[in-house]
Structure 1
Amino acid sequence: MHNNIGLAAMLALAIPANVLAQQPLKANVIHWWTSGGESAAVRQFADAYNKAGGLWVDNAIAGADQARATTINRIVGGTAPVAAQFNTSKQFRDIVEQGMLNNVDDVAAQGKWDQVLPQPILDAIRINGHYYAAPVNIHMPGWFFYSKPAFKKAGIAAEPQNWEEFIAALGKLKSAGLVPLAFGGQVWQEKITFDAVFAVVGGRDLYLKVYRDHDQAAIKSDAFKQVLVQFKRLRGFVDAGSPGRNWNDATAMVVSGKAGVQIMGDWAKGEFAAANLVAGKDYGCFPGFGPKSPYMVAGDAFVFPKSNKADVVKAQKLLASVVTAPASQVAFSARKGSIPARLDIDGAGLDQCAQLGLSIIKDKSRQLPNPEMLVPPDQNGALQDVLTNFWNRNQAAEDAQKAFAAALKG
């Protein structure tokens, strides 16, 4: 018995030295993917990271703003996570400029990111020549999803091919006693609906003049006023219960066939999938009208808070390579509703809408950065205020136009 104790003690002493070299690279990761579909998606990254020799420590925080605020507070407080989710936008530019992030240049070089990522994504993650974020997907925030049974009931035989046909289809849905447009009256939903209208009605050139160039003449043009007018036309096709409604509750109206259409990001597909509805069979999707309509690019990425600790830096690099690997990106997007950030991926296993998105985004002329890639967060907030005022009040388009111009000045 004593001999056994002695042997156990000797083993206990011997183990740390052997295991020390093989300790998994622990990565505390902050993200805001908390819904059922999102949790299943992020699990793909966690499993891949663990298999690659890491130890994923999940730190899910409900709400994007709250998650980002927690990340920044922890960086400032000296308890930074190894990685944190941000959108591929200007959201993390401030913390880059304040020297709060590590770059992952060598991972980007090894993965040939400059060759496999679309330009809007590169422009968001590459700052002053360095790569400060690992992009995991592309979300298109302006998809049109529709219920096939609702379209059938309303006598709509084919997908609308232009804006006026779309408005006519909403009219038919209304006449059939359905809610034409499932809408969630929250500030961010009003903004992405406006941006979807802007892309298809205003077109790529006007959109870039306004959001990228802050061109006052373009904002004050009649063409831009028409975008506001067409956006407000949609107000006549939403139901009285829309104010304050969550996006997923609006999606549920299309899922049940109570409503005809929802304009929403491709994350809405998770709700259709959860209800066992199949794209192309039970519901349809189109990202705009016609073969040249712009495809708005948004998405998610991980950033890597500043650290000089060798194990943290190793963990960051391992994580950056894992989440940008083709297999991880496909597995994640299949559950998230997005498409992979990489353009060199075969999306045969993805749904019909995702495959359509993948084919479109390979056409550089259709890639359109979403406004958050072009406009700083504070100005984006000011624009949201302008649009919610216009949507919810009896305000003239000219007044909204002036307020929009003022918000984009400077």
Structure 2
Amino acid sequence: MTKQSRGATRIAWVLLAMLACAAGRSNAAAAAPKAEVMHWWTSSSESAAVRKFADAYRAAGGVWGDTAIAGADQAKAVAINRIVGGNPPTAAQFNTTKQFRDLIDQGSLNNVDDIAVRDRWDQLMPQPILDVIKVKGHFYAVPVDIHMSTWIWYSKAAFKKAGIAKEPATPDELFAALDKLKAAGLVGLAHGGQPWQENILFQAMLANVGGRELYLQVLRDRSPKAINSDAFKKVLLAFKRLQGYVDAGSPNRNWNDATAMLISGKAGVQIMGDWAKGEFAAARQTAGKDFGCIPGLGANVPYLIQGDAFVFPKTSNPEAVRAQKLLAATMLTPGAQLEFNKIKGALPILSNVDTSGMDVCAQAGMAILKDKTRAVGMIEVFLTPDQNGALQDVLTTYWNTRMPVEKAQKGIVSALQD
């Protein structure tokens, strides 16, 4: 073989090796599990949080396709329409409530029983969450966080300006603080006048003024006697009293814009879920230093929980199922759970995740959850979407008009009937 021919042979082998490597990379890319993930996390903190799941999925060998749709109701409607229409995403976000029960009943979701058994969900997840994701012995959703919906947030700067030295520990002390904030020329309660936000204020008053027993009698049992009681009337009056501390710009304000009022020191208090903590973090504010967090106005106030979860539309395509399984497993790894929830403001869904490095609000929440009697489902855990919508209609009308409290009680009895 001549020198020239030997050189040509070497070049040929190099070219063949390059082609083989390229083909290998192409096959590997083709084999990577591809997941279209539909969600409604579009605020700055939410977007940063969901990127942690995307990063973890890519690190595990998957291809993440992000379909973000602003607004939870809109995102859920699009997901349902696509599932029913035969063009489902790989995974779709819902809350850990009864929102996806119809999809389960219609046989439209794949279960994740193997992952749930392997990771001991029955032992490591709060019962109110298990009650909605586990149906007839099968697990149909992957919860990714625990949110408490009625935290009382307050601006340290606003409290200082108003001369409030002590953190409110009772409903009376909360209203006294709101009075001082108002007298100091500040907005007492930062609130977005939207039905779902008024629903949160109502739940806060039901839990903090009414207590655990009345909360369950009204929402779980839907007892007309409890709803018509003087104790529940006191709850509704406390709820309506909060309206005296909101500003004229409240109607239709987004929740994160209300949180921004605390961040700037313009307002003193916001009652909102712990997702608000993500907005404080994005503004580089520190829990316990720049803002305070109160999980309840009393030692035994119920800790109202729900969270976010992903469901996996029914498919028999093995590649799609592989993508779903990898996504479910990745989201529940300790690293992904911690990174996501630190930014999101929530707690990890599995109780064996080490949360010692999380902030003081998260530590308070984890301590409360050790007492299993404190964890109670938030409103949508007990009510169907139709019942919850009817309740919101009554509450919003009561909030915005001069509806007598007795009429509101009768309206709620009607709204919560089957």
Q: Which residue of 2 aligns with 1:305?
A: 313
Residue 278 of structure 1 pairs with residue 286 of structure 2: yes
Q: Which residue of 1 aligns with 2:60?
A: 52
- Separation in structure 2 between the aligned mates of residue 158 and residue 13 of structure 1, nearest angstrom: 70
Tell me which of 403, 407, 416 is aligned to 1:408: 416
Please, which moves more after superposition, 242-251 or 333-342?
Answer: 242-251
Give the length in aligned residue pairs. 410
Question: Which structure 2 residue ranges, 5 or more long, are not aligned?
Answer: 1-6
- Aligned residue for 2:109, secondary structure, equals coil
Tell me which of 318, 325, 341 is aligned to 1:317: 325
Residue 220 of structure 1 pairs with residue 228 of structure 2: yes
- Aligned residue for 1:62, secondary structure, equals coil
Q: Percentage identity across aligned positions?
A: 59
Deviations 1:257-278 (A, max 9, x none): 1111111111111221222211
Residue 293 of structure 1 pairs with residue 306 of structure 2: no
Give the partner amino acid of 2:60.
A
- Separation in structure 1 between the aligned mates of residue 70 and residue 16 of structure 2, nearest angstrom: 45
Deviations 1:77-116 (A, max 9, x none): 2221111111011000000100000000001001111111
Residue 176 of structure 1 pairs with residue 214 of structure 2: no
- Aligned residue for 1:232, secondary structure, equals helix
Please, which moves more after superposition, 349-358 or 85-94?
Answer: 349-358
User: In the TM superposition, what is the alpha-carbon distance from 1:17 to its structure 2 partner?
Assistant: 7.0
- Separation in structure 1 between the aligned mates of residue 373 and residue 89 of structure 2, nearest angstrom: 38
Please, which moves more after superposition, 95-104 or 281-290?
Answer: 281-290
- Aligned residue for 2:350, secondary structure, equals coil
Structure 2 counterparts to residues 389-400 of structure 1, below 5 A: 389-400=397-408
How has the CA–CA distance of structure 1 residues 2 and 101 changed in structure 2, closer, same or farther, with 3 Å as cutoff?
A: farther
User: In the TM superposition, what is the alpha-carbon distance from 1:7 to its structure 2 partner?
Assistant: 6.7
Q: Which residue of 2 aligns with 1:247?
A: 255
Q: Which residue of 2 aligns with 1:198?
A: 206
Structure 2 counterparts to residues 54-133 of structure 1, below 5 A: 54-133=62-141
Q: Which residue of 1 aligns with 2:4?
A: none
- Separation in structure 2 between the aligned mates of residue 210 and residue 147 of structure 1, nearest angstrom: 32
Runs of 4+ displaced beyond 3 Å: 1-22
Q: Which residue of 2 aligns with 1:208?
A: 216
Residue 347 of structure 1 pairs with residue 359 of structure 2: no
Q: Tell whether the 8 Å contact from 2:168 to 2:174 is kept in structure 1 after alignment.
A: yes
Q: Which residue of 2 aligns with 1:188?
A: 196
Give the partner amino acid of 1:258.
K
Q: Which residue of 2 aligns with 1:142?
A: 150
How has the CA–CA distance of structure 1 residues 118 and 10 changed in structure 2, closer, same or farther, with 3 Å as cutoff?
A: same
How has the CA–CA distance of structure 1 residues 235 and 17 changed in structure 2, closer, same or farther, with 3 Å as cutoff?
A: closer
Give the partner amino acid of 1:303.
V
Q: Tell whether the 8 Å contact from 2:208 to 2:298 is kept in structure 1 after alignment.
A: no
- Aligned residue for 2:110, secondary structure, equals coil
User: In the TM superposition, what is the alpha-carbon distance from 1:21 to its structure 2 partner?
Assistant: 6.5
Q: CA RMSD in A?
A: 1.8
- Separation in structure 1 between the aligned mates of residue 148 and residue 86 of structure 2, nearest angstrom: 35
Deviations 1:101-134 (A, max 9, x none): 0000001001111111010111111011100000
- Separation in structure 1 between the aligned mates of residue 74 and residue 33 of structure 2, nearest angstrom: 26
User: In the TM superposition, what is the alpha-carbon distance from 1:291 to its structure 2 partner?
Assistant: 2.0
TM-score, scaled relative to structure 1: 0.96
Please, which moves more after superposition, 277-286 or 1-10?
Answer: 1-10
